[in-house]
Chains A and B, each alone.
Chain A
Amino acid sequence: MVTTNKKKPSTVTPQIKPLDDCPDWTFELLEQYQTEIARVAEHYRLDTYTNQIEVITAEQMMDAYAGVGMPIGYNHWTFGKKFIQTEQTYKRGQMGLAYEIVINSSPCISYLMEENTMPMQALVMAHACYGHNSFFKGNYLFKSWTDASSIIDYLLFAKNYIANCENKYGIDDVEATLDACHALMNHGVDRYKRPQKISLDEELKRQKEREEYLQSQVNMLWRTEPNANKNNNEPKYKFPSEPQENILYFIEKNAPLLKPWQREIVRIVRKISQYFYPQKQTQVMNEGWACFWHYTILNHLYDEGLVTDKFMLEFLHNHTNVVAQQEYNSKYYSGINPYALGFNMFIDIRRICEHPTKEDKEFFPEIAGSNWLDTLHFAMENFKDESFISQYLSPKLIRDFKLFHIHDDENNNYVEIGAIHNEQGYKKIRHKLADQYNLSNLEVNIQIIDANIDGDRSLTLRYIPHNGTELGDSKEEVLKHLHYLWQFDVKIVQEKNEGEDVIIAQCSDTLKKPE
């Protein structure tokens, strides 16, 4: 396959002797493999944050699971629930633990499980420490939405701040506030504005100022003294002037009765939600990229004679399990496996570059025959799942996966096959599959349209259905949480047939706090 033409670092002896392939790993061996993997990664121009590789036990891995990817989490019962669930299923043997967890931070923290064998550790290092890591550093979403160098500091700040609040205001109030924020967490993201990056020191400094300033702003908005300059006949101005989709942001800035510390907690949840926002949108790409690189890097080492056949067999066994795709009629089928789709797409892009067919030249004139490494890096840096699929899903892959599209209309008593893997279907399948990863289709579209600041202070949200889908049953429960934060009547309206807004859910003062 590919041979190294570059100057090799001095660590490689001219006479290639395979690395020890015994199943038990040691720290020296980890270092040796890491050095080799790093060398190959550099050869393929993978630009990464410094790696911090932490070896942990299975119990610690379960702790890490419960923290939903946050290395430092504030205390909340939902993490306890997650932990109990994980522990329970793990103990019963219903679920294995992941081999690794990797955190989008700088340095990039990866957790390796103690139980892994040496080939597994090598796989995981190539996958997480060079695959995911370079994705975090290179992809435009991560670049513009998250700041890897400050996230650990920020999480620490959040943990301490919330612990302090618990001491000052009691666990119950803090918990209720967090519950409410978590319910609205998906609606705490700025989809179009880019948040600024700030460091911990700045955050602490600003937090104090913000607390005072925010409260004064809110007081201005809600003050009840008559305004001398204001003419009563003046048409009422609408507030907010434009619909707001970032509900948590709106609450933080405008909720009339929230205490300053509650505003800060709303802000913390909002920030964390924003931090995870790119990960939600790049699952296929991120996993595909990481799988592609562990596969390519370890094969490269094999071609160099650095790893043995024994090593490769164990590696390939695990690799194949990870990127396996069940078919729709298998009892293990649970949707499209993002690892499988992503991995195969990157492999396919490389194929198109290196060995384009006539079909490829027709579908991908720009990349067919180009330098595969340049093309791959470009793809990784400038796309998210949705656009990645609509740009690069090739007819060959559609055939390989035997993809087909099902159209399900509520009004019909049948579902219809919209397209299959044939000439007429390629573009439609590509389009529909890309839509399937479009976050704005997956998450409900709810916006704040009115806060009645002159009257009863009620808050109105509008639900805009996508493809005629109703809002799910939990809406009443979520509204209770929103009511807890807003503390006056809240309601959701939806435009029905005659262009008239109909209230589909509401929560008023007479209803109690969320349980």
Chain B
Amino acid sequence: MANFIDRRLNSKNKSTVNRQRFLRRYKNQIKKSVSDAINKRGVTDIDSGENIVIPKKDMSEPVFHRGSGGINDRVHPGNDQFITGDRIPKPPNQQGQGGGKGDASDSGEGDDDFTFSISKEEYLNLLFEDLELPNLEKNQLDKLIEYKTVRSGFCAEGVASNIDIVKSLQGSIARRIAMTSSKRKQLKEYQQTLDDLQQDKHDHISEERELKKLIQILEEKIAKVPFIDTFDLRFRNFAKQAVPTSKAVMFCLMDVSGSMDQATKEMAKRFYILLYLFLSRTYKNIDVVYIRHHTQAKEVDEHEFFYSQETGGTIASSALQLMNDIITERYDDNQWNIYGAQASDGDNWADDSPLCKSLLIDKILPKTRYFSYIEITQRAHQTLWQQYQQIMETHPHFAIQHIKEAADIYPVFRKLFKKSTKNAA
């Protein structure tokens, strides 16, 4: 006796809940692993998931088990050389260390770390958990810029291509019924009378003729009601609906003057990666504009941005000026969500710093969603930092942070985009 059941079409993700439970339980370890991993990634490498490593001891399921020591008797197959009474010395390192450390591994598992993969979504969610784009909600309402055409019912006028045939014919039927109903009623009555007369044994020739004439007139009148009338026509109506734009542009500004060494640039790069990943969670299309500057600013590609060496002094305002120009030229702030991230070691020509401040306040900040400045230096802050600090006090979507070493990047990033409690409340 047997019943066959084809289960192949049943859901295959019976374990999803348990997998989520696992991720939930080890969230802290996984998060640590994720933030370690971010430092090893390339800027554009956002499509892959991530391998997570958790030390095995953190996730053991302890049970009472036998330790080492005592007397052990085992039977093995394949004897090829032994006879009863043979003595085989134990390897020296085990000797006299009866209660040795390593967990007796009955299951044949060692103390390796537990490694597994998570998907891209899970990776990004963990990486940016509790983070949000500043002022996103508030701004979204003022900047409903793009329009989308959506259907919005029917209307009586329109172009021929938008005629809705079903609706129009429904109108036509309704109109015809309405316009002919009294006539049909009349017609029915005449018909009835005529039938009665014809049933009658007596002849009513003249009356019959009269009635037939009336019937004919009525039938003609009914036939004259047009099958379709311009009055019946219905057109599909379309309306424009404002939708928040999902395009974003990210400006990466970096000082490449002689004082910026490769290590500092690498740190800046990681910051940009994080920002890019973070934005990619919210926006579908992201343009990245790389602007590097020393005394002059220049728009470059990614490779040149990070790896070409320049020397010379530093005028930060040149980059801000160029950024403003590019926005005006290519990125209408009504259609693009503009983000700026500036990285520098803090060096700037002293007289230039006030100019940077005014450029930001007057031109750039009104157009951008968010502008962040990170200073990567071990030294004391200079004029640029001081000027920017003043901006921060008056502009909530401007933020500055100080990074000393690579390990600071992720915490600093989190600080910048921390979910503000005010919004949550």
**Residues of chain B within 8 A of A111, CB atoms compared:** 7
Instruction: Determine if A325 and B103 form an interchain contact, defined as CB atoms under 8 angstroms apart.
Output: no
**Residues of chain A within 8 A of B153, CB atoms compared:** none
Instruction: Determine if B25 and A175 form an interchain contact, defined as CB atoms under 8 angstroms apart.
Output: yes
Instruction: Determine if B7 and A60 form an interchain contact, defined as CB atoms under 8 angstroms apart.
Output: yes
Give the residue of B6, B19, B82, B89 whose beta carbon is less than 8 angstroms from that of A404.
B82
Nearest chain B residue, comparing its CB with the CB of A63? B14
Give the residue of A129, A183, A467 whose beta carbon is less than 8 angstroms from that of B71.
A467
**Residues of chain B within 8 A of A80, CB atoms compared:** 15, 17-23
**Residues of chain B within 8 A of A326, CB atoms compared:** 77-78
Nearest CB of chain B from residue A148's CB, rounded to whole Å: 15
**Residues of chain B within 8 A of A53, CB atoms compared:** 2-5
Nearest CB of chain A from residue B103's CB, rounded to whole Å: 6
Q: Interface-forming stretch among A284-292, A306-314, A379-387, A469-477?
A: A469-477
Q: How many residues of B contact A (CB 8 A)?
A: 64
**Residues of chain B within 8 A of A415, CB atoms compared:** 87-88, 90
Q: Give the CA-CA distance A186 to B65 in the complex, in Å.
A: 10
Q: Give the CA-CA distance A48 to B2 in the complex, in Å.
A: 10
Tell me whether A38 and B2 are in contact in the complex, defined as CB-CB below 8 angstroms, given that A66-B18, A75-B18 are known contacts: yes
Nearest CB of chain A from residue B256's CB, rounded to whole Å: 43
Q: Give the CA-CA distance A56 to B5 in the complex, in Å.
A: 9
**Residues of chain B within 8 A of A52, CB atoms compared:** 2-3, 5
Q: Give the CA-CA distance A456 to B61 in the complex, in Å.
A: 29
B396 at the interface (CB under 8 A from A): no
Give the residue of A38, A436, A472 whose beta carbon is less than 8 angstroms from that of B64.
A472
Chain B 6-39 interface residues, beta-carbon cutoff 8 Å to A: 6-8, 10, 12-15, 17-25
Q: Give the CA-CA distance A34 to B4 in the complex, in Å.
A: 10
Nearest CB of chain A from residue B107's CB, rounded to whole Å: 11
A197 at the interface (CB under 8 A from B): no
Q: Give the CA-CA distance A183 to B73 in the complex, in Å.
A: 27
Instruction: Determine if A468 and B69 form an interchain contact, defined as CB atoms under 8 angstroms apart.
Output: yes
Give the residue of B68, B76, B84, B101 whose beta carbon is less than 8 angstroms from that of A425.
B84
**Residues of chain B within 8 A of A186, CB atoms compared:** 63-64
Q: Convert B321-362 into 0s and 1s, putting 1 for each residue whose CB lies closer than 8 angstroms to a CB of A.
A: 000000000000000000000000000000000000000000
Instruction: Determine if A444 and B78 form an interchain contact, defined as CB atoms under 8 angstroms apart.
Output: no
Q: Give the CA-CA distance A328 to B64 in the complex, in Å.
A: 28
Instruction: Determine if A408 and B71 form an interchain contact, defined as CB atoms under 8 angstroms apart.
Output: yes
Tell me whether A81 and B22 are in contact in the complex, defined as CB-CB below 8 angstroms, given that A472-B104, A478-B63 are known contacts: yes
Instruction: Determine if A83 and B19 form an interchain contact, defined as CB atoms under 8 angstroms apart.
Output: yes
Instruction: Determine if B76 and A410 form an interchain contact, defined as CB atoms under 8 angstroms apart.
Output: no
B1 at the interface (CB under 8 A from A): yes
Among A30, A83, A327, A329, max chain B CB count under 10 A is at A83
Give the residue of A77, A88, A413, A433 whose beta carbon is less than 8 angstroms from that of B24.
A77
Chain B 49-102 interface residues, beta-carbon cutoff 8 Å to A: 59-80, 82-90, 95, 98-99, 101
Instruction: Determine if B4 and A470 form an interchain contact, defined as CB atoms under 8 angstroms apart.
Output: no
Instruction: Determine if A60 and B22 form an interchain contact, defined as CB atoms under 8 angstroms apart.
Output: no
**Residues of chain B within 8 A of A466, CB atoms compared:** 66, 70
**Residues of chain B within 8 A of A432, CB atoms compared:** 73-75
B226 at the interface (CB under 8 A from A): no
Instruction: Determine if A75 and B6 form an interchain contact, defined as CB atoms under 8 angstroms apart.
Output: no
Q: Convert A72-104 into 0s and 1s, putting 1 for each residue whose CB lies closer than 8 angstroms to a CB of B.
A: 010111111101110110000000000000000
Nearest chain B residue, comparing its CB with the CB of A84? B116
**Residues of chain B within 8 A of A271, CB atoms compared:** none
B115 at the interface (CB under 8 A from A): yes
**Residues of chain B within 8 A of A325, CB atoms compared:** 77-78
**Residues of chain B within 8 A of A472, CB atoms compared:** 64-67, 103-104
Instruction: Determine if A406 and B73 form an interchain contact, defined as CB atoms under 8 angstroms apart.
Output: yes
Instruction: Determine if A107 and B3 form an interchain contact, defined as CB atoms under 8 angstroms apart.
Output: yes
Tell me whether A407 and B73 are in contact in the complex, defined as CB-CB below 8 angstroms, given that A51-B1, A80-B20, A84-B19 are known contacts: yes
Chain A 187-210 interface residues, beta-carbon cutoff 8 Å to B: 187
Nearest CB of chain B from residue A377's CB, rounded to whole Å: 20
Nearest CB of chain A from residue B12's CB, rounded to whole Å: 4
Instruction: Determine if A402 and B77 form an interchain contact, defined as CB atoms under 8 angstroms apart.
Output: yes
Tell me whether A478 and B62 are in contact in the complex, defined as CB-CB below 8 angstroms, given that A76-B18, A328-B78, A403-B77 are known contacts: yes
Nearest CB of chain A from residue B126's CB, rounded to whole Å: 15
Nearest CB of chain A from residue B266's CB, rounded to whole Å: 32
Instruction: Determine if B77 and A409 form an interchain contact, defined as CB atoms under 8 angstroms apart.
Output: no
**Residues of chain A within 8 A of B8, CB atoms compared:** 55-57, 60, 114
Nearest chain A residue, comparing its CB with the CB of B6? A55
Give the residue of B63, B86, B108 whose beta carbon is less than 8 angstroms from that of A474.
B63
B117 at the interface (CB under 8 A from A): yes
Instruction: Determine if A467 and B72 form an interchain contact, defined as CB atoms under 8 angstroms apart.
Output: yes
Nearest CB of chain A from residue B295's CB, rounded to whole Å: 54
A420 at the interface (CB under 8 A from B): yes
A347 at the interface (CB under 8 A from B): no
**Residues of chain B within 8 A of A23, CB atoms compared:** none
**Residues of chain A within 8 A of B22, CB atoms compared:** 77-78, 80-81, 84
Q: Give the CA-CA distance A57 to B14 in the complex, in Å.
A: 12
Give the residue of A76, A183, A465, A477 whose beta carbon is less than 8 angstroms from that of B21.
A76
**Residues of chain A within 8 A of B24, CB atoms compared:** 77, 171
A405 at the interface (CB under 8 A from B): yes
Tell me whether A183 and B75 are in contact in the complex, defined as CB-CB below 8 angstroms, given that A84-B19, A88-B117, A414-B87 are known contacts: no
Instruction: Determine if A175 and B74 form an interchain contact, defined as CB atoms under 8 angstroms apart.
Output: no
Instruction: Determine if B77 and A187 form an interchain contact, defined as CB atoms under 8 angstroms apart.
Output: no
Q: Give the CA-CA distance A420 to B81 in the complex, in Å.
A: 10
Q: Give the CA-CA distance A83 to B15 in the complex, in Å.
A: 7
Nearest chain A residue, comparing its CB with the CB of B103? A473
A418 at the interface (CB under 8 A from B): yes
Instruction: Determine if B5 and A55 form an interchain contact, defined as CB atoms under 8 angstroms apart.
Output: yes
A225 at the interface (CB under 8 A from B): no
Q: Convert B115-144 into 0s and 1s, putting 1 for each residue whose CB lies closer than 8 angstroms to a CB of A.
A: 111000000000000000000000000000
Q: Convert A158-188 into 0s and 1s, putting 1 for each residue whose CB lies closer than 8 angstroms to a CB of B.
A: 0000000000000100010001001111110
Nearest CB of chain B from residue A497's CB, rounded to whole Å: 14
Nearest CB of chain A from residue B84's CB, rounded to whole Å: 6
**Residues of chain A within 8 A of B65, CB atoms compared:** 444, 471-472, 474
**Residues of chain A within 8 A of B69, CB atoms compared:** 410, 468-470
Tell me whether A471 and B12 are in contact in the complex, defined as CB-CB below 8 angstroms, given that A53-B4, A80-B20, A414-B90 are known contacts: no
A352 at the interface (CB under 8 A from B): no
Instruction: Determine if A413 and B70 form an interchain contact, defined as CB atoms under 8 angstroms apart.
Output: no
A357 at the interface (CB under 8 A from B): no
Q: Give the CA-CA distance A31 to B4 in the complex, in Å.
A: 8
A422 at the interface (CB under 8 A from B): yes
Q: Give the CA-CA distance A287 to B10 in the complex, in Å.
A: 29
Instruction: Determine if B70 and A467 form an interchain contact, defined as CB atoms under 8 angstroms apart.
Output: yes
Tell me whether A59 and B62 are in contact in the complex, defined as CB-CB below 8 angstroms, given that A129-B2, A407-B73 are known contacts: no
21 contacts between A and B (CB under 8 A): A53-B5, A54-B4, A55-B5, A55-B6, A56-B10, A75-B18, A77-B22, A80-B18, A81-B22, A88-B115, A329-B78, A336-B77, A406-B73, A420-B79, A424-B84, A435-B73, A469-B69, A471-B66, A472-B104, A473-B103, A477-B62
- The 5 tightest CB contacts between A and B, nearest first, are A327-B78, A80-B22, A468-B70, A469-B70, A80-B18
Binding site for B on A (CB under 8 A): 27, 30-31, 34, 38, 48, 50-57, 59-60, 62-63, 66-67, 73, 75-81, 83-85, 87-88, 107, 111, 114, 125, 129, 171, 175, 179, 182-187, 325-330, 333-334, 336, 401-410, 413-422, 424-425, 429, 432-433, 435-436, 442-444, 446, 465-475, 477-478, 481
